[in-house]
């Protein structure tokens, strides 16, 4: 159990890491248009346009990471319902809960630190379950992670999945869907950076600014599934 002083120091390190120039994860990726497009805009916009807010809505997000998505879900749900955020990393969970408290989030998550593959959360208890980015594959068993997401959703509830081609091609999800009886209510591809404006990534890398990592050719794919 960390003391508040430890958590303050960890929180400072967290804020600093957002702006630290480590490749594939620090400022360079966080500030890139590709990151903002996929995570900052498209996925939130997909939720906003396609998911209906319900009174006393119960939402679960699997995989907290930086926690930006959970922050957004909490605000989206504010005055409507509650968010449960699950992550296997206990330290990350503690820091996320503390950050939300320090930042005075108006609808903070109930944080559950556990492996989603062995979750203690009751089946059929959420109106919406979300699992985005690399989380499915970070579990080491992406199909099992999806099965559990569906198990946690109520009958008639939904699962929002968003993946990027940096983690896995969309074909893995299409193959996974073949074994399901769920209805896909919405599906969108986020293709703006699938090759920036028709200019191949190697051109950007070789001719434009050789040392800058453009994370080019990153596509996203989002699905909203309805559980029967």
Could you give the string, one character per residue 68-97, with x where binding to ligand SAM holds by CB under 6 A and - elsewhere? xx----------------xxxx--x-----
CB of 211 to ligand SAM, least distance (A): 25
Q: How far apart are CA 219 and CA 200, in angstroms?
A: 14
Binding of ligand SAM by 196 (CB under 6 A): no
Task: Write out the binding residues for ligand SAM, residues 106-165 only, by CB under 6 A.
Answer: 115-117, 132-135, 138-139
Which DSSP helix (H) or strand (E) runs through 14?
helix 4-17
**Binding test (CB under 6 A) with ligand SAM, winner from 47, 57, 59, 64:** 64
Is the Cα torsion angle 158, 163, 168, 170 positive or negative in sign?
positive
* Identity of the residue, 7 or 160, whose beta carbon is nearer to ligand SAM in the bound complex: 160
Cβ-based nearer residue to ligand SAM, 138 or 188: 138
Three-state DSSP state, 204 = helix
CB nearer to ligand SAM: pick between 54 and 66: 66
**In the chain, at which residue ranges do the beta strands (DSSP E only) sit?**
57-62, 81-87, 110-113, 126-132, 153-164, 183-190, 220-226
| CA-closest candidate to residue 214, choices 26, 34, 39, 21 | 34
Q: Near ligand SAM by CB under 6 A, which window of 11-19, 58-66, 98-106, 193-201? A: 58-66
Question: How is residue 68 annotated by DSSP?
Answer: H
Please report, as ranges, the residues that interact with ligand SAM according to CB under 6 A: 39, 62-66, 68-69, 86-89, 92, 115-117, 132-135, 138-139
């Amino acid at each position: 159990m960390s003391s508040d002083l430890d958590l303050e120091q960890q929180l400072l390190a967290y804020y600093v890491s957002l702006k630290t120039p480590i490749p594939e994860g620090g400022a360079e990726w966080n500030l890139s248009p590709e990151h903002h497009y996929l995570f900052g805009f498209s996925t939130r916009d997909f939720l906003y346009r396609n998911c209906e807010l319900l009174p006393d809505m119960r939402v679960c997000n699997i995989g907290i990471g930086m926690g930006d998505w959970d922050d957004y879900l909490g605000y989206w749900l504010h005055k409507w319902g509650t968010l449960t955020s699950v992550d296997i990393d206990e330290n990350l969970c503690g820091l996320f809960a503390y950050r939300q408290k320090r930042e005075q989030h108006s609808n903070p998550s109930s944080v559950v630190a556990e492996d989603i593959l062995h979750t203690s959360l009751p089946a059929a208890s959420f109106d919406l379950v979300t699992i985005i980015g690399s989380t499915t594959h970070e579990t080491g068993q992406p199909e099992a992670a999806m099965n559990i997401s569906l198990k946690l959703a109520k009958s008639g509830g939904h699962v929002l999945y968003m993946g990027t081609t940096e983690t896995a091609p969309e074909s893995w999800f299409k193959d996974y869907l073949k074994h399901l009886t769920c209805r896909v209510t919405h599906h969108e591809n986020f293709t703006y950076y699938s090759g920036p404006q028709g200019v191949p990534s190697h051109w950007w890398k070789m001719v434009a600014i050789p040392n800058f990592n453009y994370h080019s050719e990153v596509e996203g794919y989002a699905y909203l599934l309805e559980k029967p």
